[in-house]
């Protein structure tokens, strides 16, 4: 290893502090006794956590968010896994165009997409439904999940499948016992991204969700606009904690021997 | 014949045949090596035997049954890959058990046969390790055990030692040969390494541009190559351009050097016209001028000496042509760089091959 000066380390610390700084404000505030946003907090208690846990107007959006994010994750995987296999393993005309099309949701501003989804889903009478938000969120999460799984698939050694087949496994058993388990870390990461992109998404959710499929970010947005209620700090803290867990759990599993050295 | 390839043709692009009409018969229990430079069609041939590639035409028959249209998982053929292709999420034992589980073998028998296979390759202590915890040589042994555990009709090995370092490679050559003898499996081995081919095979099939150049036991291929290509690909070689004159049987005219005797069955060439004469560097020896009774001799100017300790390679010229001479280390005292020496060979050690019309790539 070539020796480097302390500069990279200092830069890394600065970036980490910059990224983490909001947490140092939000997390203490969630335990604050103040009636509105106030920093530093005058005192600490768990009152707003109790308030959150007792308030249906927060709990229902929380449940909605989970349902929609899980639905988005499942739908995204169902679309993206076959698409990635087709894209990485086969040659066909228009491959470049297909790739560009799949990346389109990344390029178009969410606000523009949201208007489009609204018009489209309204015609199908899916605005204000879980299904409607899931469809819109799935479109948004496809590009990143697709990239992640394509990358995993490109690094996949096809001799593993050949070895399985010569060992007597047909296409289905080869896929279930070898291809899928070996790709599992990549698929998990893709699924996690899909889940998080839906869970954190506000713009499209505000347009499509309506009252019946309101998600947590939508409710937070409304709360901050109307009430400045410190419960929002509670929700933010819980959200961050949940996301952190979601990122750390796969890391923990990855320590187990999945990858050949 | 047990495994038989008939007029096998495979083209990937429709223009060039990667495999161009291969005919090869392999006996039960035989160790056959497909040898050739990269791109000569040997791996494609192996992949067709395994069923991973479908031939454009031709037949593959195993024990009288046509294989060409059956899927890889319907054939009872084991494959060992150069990069091992072990399942990274399974322990060594579960890797080896995989083919048995796919065949619905009862759990008790799986255990017994996996243990036996791991013992065969000397890895019984590593059964519960994952591939990434094993060294390259150990991984290759697991791959061997996985390829053998289900008693395949044929075991195919695709450059299995290519990723190992030299010492380990030699060790594994001995090991693979031992295992093949012990199990008695029919084995087809692909390599571009002539040493591996020489040390392990019952027969070698030399590939060139999708065609078979020569098939035979290692020593026959070494001593009596069918062409200059085979002679140069396997072992070190000297080639003299020469002419055969039908009017002088037993003699050959070396271009720029003069007449030389030839003897025995040492020919793979037409009885007349331009040919090449092969003499292996280690069949040449230093002779005292005037005492070369019965030997062909040439004058050699030594330009470079390469000392291997046990032997000495002298590189130089005879006339204006390059010449190589390999002698035992102990007799090397007379040789100095720049020296002029007389070099001779027994007429029986000369081997005539046809002149190649096209220059080699």
pLDDT (average), residues A22-49: 84
Cis amide prior to A124 (ω within 30 degrees): no
Cα B330 → chain centroid: 30
Compute the distance between CA of residue B197 and CA of residue B191 in angstroms, rounded to an integer: 7
Question: What is the number of CB-based contacts under 8 A between chain A and chain B?
Answer: 79
| Alpha-carbon gap, residue B339 to B317, rounded angstroms | 11
Q: Provide, as residue numbers in chain B, all residues whose Cβ is less than 8 Å from the Cβ of A162.
A: 50, 52, 72, 79, 81, 85
Looking at residue B186, its pLDDT comes to 96
Confirm if B28 and B153 have CB atoms less than 8 A apart: no
Low-confidence winner among B99-103, B141-145, B161-165 (lowest mean pLDDT): B161-165
Residue A259 has a pLDDT of 43
A207-211, B55-59, B114-118: the lowest-pLDDT one: A207-211
> Cα separation of B323 and B309, whole Å?
21
Q: What is the pLDDT of residue B269?
A: 60
Q: Report whether pLDDT(B147) > 70.
A: yes
pLDDT over threshold 50, residue A4: yes
Contact at CB, B102 and A168, closer than 8 angstroms? yes
Q: What is the ipTM of this complex?
A: 0.84
Residue B327 pLDDT > 60: yes
Nearest to B151 by CA among B120, B197, B193: B120
Contact A260 B88 (CB under 8 A): yes
Closest residue in chain A to residue B78, using alpha carbons only = A166
**Cα nearest neighbour of A258 on chain B:** B89
**Domains of chain A by range and CATH?**
23-54 (no CATH), 56-232 (1.10.3720.10)
Q: What is the mean pLDDT of residues A118-125?
A: 92
Dist. CA B184–CA A131, nearest whole Å: 62
- Residue that wins the pLDDT comparison between B354 and B270: B354
A148 CA: distance to closest CA in chain B (Å) = 20
pLDDT tens readout for residues B269-322:
666 678 889 999 999 988 887 777 888 989 899 999 888 888 889 999 988 888
Give the pLDDT confidence score for residue A261 in this predicted structure: 34
Locus of tokens 């070539």: A2
Min Cα distance B97 → chain A (Å) is 10
pLDDT for residue B3 is more than 90: yes
Of the candidates B242, B280, B274, which has an alpha carbon nearest to the alpha carbon of residue B261?
A: B242
Kindly report which listed range (A103-107, B29-33, B124-128, B264-268) carries the lowest average pLDDT score: B264-268
Question: pLDDT > 90: what percent of chain A?
Answer: 46
pLDDT number for residue A247: 77
Find the CB nearest A167 among B52, B88, B146: B146
Alpha carbon of B261: minimum distance to chain A alpha carbons (Å): 53
What does the mean pLDDT of chain A come to?
88
Quick one: closest CA in B to A182, which residue? Answer: B89
User: Can you give the pLDDT at residue B361?
Assistant: 45
Q: Do B73 and A170 touch (CB under 8 A)?
A: yes
Mean pLDDT of all residues belonging to chain B: 89
Per residue in B161-219, pLDDT (tens digit) is 988 888 888 889 999 999 999 999 999 999 999 999 999 999 999 999 999 999 999 99
CA-closest candidate to residue B161, choices B150, B151, B174: B174
In tens, the pLDDT along B18-28 reads 999 999 999 99
DSSP A178: I
* Contact status, residue A84 vs residue A102, Cβ threshold 8 Å: no
d(CA A113, CA A118): 8
The torsion angles phi and psi of B282, rounded to 5 degrees, stand at -80, -10
**pLDDT tier, A228 (very low <50, low <70, confident <90, very high otherwise):** confident
Check if B203 contacts A (Cβ < 8 Å).
no
Q: What is the pTM of this model?
A: 0.82
pLDDT at res. A1: 53
How confident is residue A5, by pLDDT bands cut at 50, 70 and 90? Answer: confident
CB contact at 8 A, B93 and B118: yes
Radius of gyration of chain B (CA): 24
pLDDT band at A251 (very low <50, low <70, confident <90, very high): confident
pLDDT of residue A25: 86
Integer CA distances (angstroms), B143 to A243, B301, B336, in order: 41, 51, 50
- Taking the C-alpha atoms of residue B250 and residue B252, their distance in angstroms, rounded to an integer, is 7
Per-residue confidence (pLDDT) for residue B330, from 0 to 100? 62
DSSP state of B275: E
């Amino acid at each position: 290893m070539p020796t480097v000066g302390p500069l990279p380390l200092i830069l890394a610390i600065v970036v980490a502090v910059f990224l983490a700084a909001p947490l140092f404000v939000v997390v203490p505030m969630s335990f604050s006794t103040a009636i509105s946003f106030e920093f530093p907090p005058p005192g600490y208690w768990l009152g707003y956590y109790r308030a959150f846990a007792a308030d249906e107007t927060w709990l229902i959006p929380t449940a909605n968010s989970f349902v929609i994010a899980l639905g988005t994750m499942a739908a995204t995987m169902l679309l993206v896994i076959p698409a990635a296999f087709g894209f990485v393993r086969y040659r066909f005309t228009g491959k470049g165009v297909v790739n560009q099309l799949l990346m389109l949701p990344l390029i178009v501003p969410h606000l523009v997409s949201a208007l489009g989804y609204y018009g489209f889903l309204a015609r199908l009478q899916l605005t204000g439904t879980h299904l409607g938000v899931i469809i819109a969120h799935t479109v948004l999460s496809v590009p990143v999940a697709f990239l992640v799984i394509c990358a995993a698939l490109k690094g996949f050694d096809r001799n593993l499948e050949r070895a399985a087949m010569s060992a007597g496994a047909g296409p289905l058993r080869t896929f279930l016992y070898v291809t899928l388990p070996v790709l599992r870390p990549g698929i998990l990461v893709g699924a996690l991204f899909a889940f998080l992109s839906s869970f954190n998404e506000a713009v499209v959710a505000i347009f499509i969700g309506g009252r019946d499929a309101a998600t947590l970010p939508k409710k937070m947005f409304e709360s901050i606009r109307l009430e400045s209620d410190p419960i929002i700090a509670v929700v933010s803290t819980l959200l961050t904690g949940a996301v952190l867990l979601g990122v750390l759990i796969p890391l923990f599993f990855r320590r187990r021997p999945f990858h050949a050295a | 014949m047990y495994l038989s390839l008939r007029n096998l043709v495979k083209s990937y692009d429709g223009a060039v045949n990667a495999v161009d009409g291969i005919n090869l018969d392999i006996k039960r229990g035989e160790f056959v090596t497909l040898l050739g430079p990269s791109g000569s069609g040997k791996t494609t041939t192996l992949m067709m035997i395994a069923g991973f590639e479908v031939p454009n035409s031709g037949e593959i028959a195993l024990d009288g049954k046509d294989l060409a249209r059956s899927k890889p998982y319907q054939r009872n053929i084991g494959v060992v890959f150069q990069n091992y292709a072990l399942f990274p999420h399974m322990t060594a034992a579960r890797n080896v058990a995989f083919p048995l589980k796919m065949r619905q073998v009862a759990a008790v028998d799986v255990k017994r046969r996996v243990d036996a296979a791991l013992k065969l390759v000397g890895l019984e202590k590593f059964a519960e390790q994952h591939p990434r915890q094993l060294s390259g040589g150990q991984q290759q042994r697991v791959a061997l055990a996985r390829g053998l555990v289900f008693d395949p009709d044929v075991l195919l090995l695709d450059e299995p030692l290519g990723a190992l370092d030299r010492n380990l490679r030699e060790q594994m050559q001995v090991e693979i040969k031992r295992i093949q003898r012990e199990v008695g499996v029919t084995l087809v081995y692909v390599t571009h390494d002539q040493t591996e081919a020489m040390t392990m095979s019952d027969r070698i099939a030399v590939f060139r541009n999708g065609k078979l150049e020569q098939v035979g036991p290692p020593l026959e291929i070494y001593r009596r190559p069918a062409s200059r290509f085979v002679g140069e690909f396997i072992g070190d070689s000297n080639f003299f351009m020469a002419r055969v004159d039908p009017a002088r049987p037993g003699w050959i005219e070396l271009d720029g050097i003069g007449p030389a005797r030839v003897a025995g069955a040492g020919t793979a060439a037409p009885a007349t016209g331009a040919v090449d004469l092969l003499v292996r560097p280690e069949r040449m020896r230093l002779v005292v001028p005037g005492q070369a009774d019965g030997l062909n001799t040439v004058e050699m100017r030594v330009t470079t000496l390469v000392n291997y300790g046990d032997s000495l390679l002298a590189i130089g010229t005879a006339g204006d042509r390059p010449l190589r001479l390999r002698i035992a280390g102990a007799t090397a005292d007379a040789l100095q760089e720049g020296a002029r020496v007389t070099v001779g060979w027994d007429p029986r050690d000369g081997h005539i091959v046809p002149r190649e019309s096209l220059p080699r790539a």
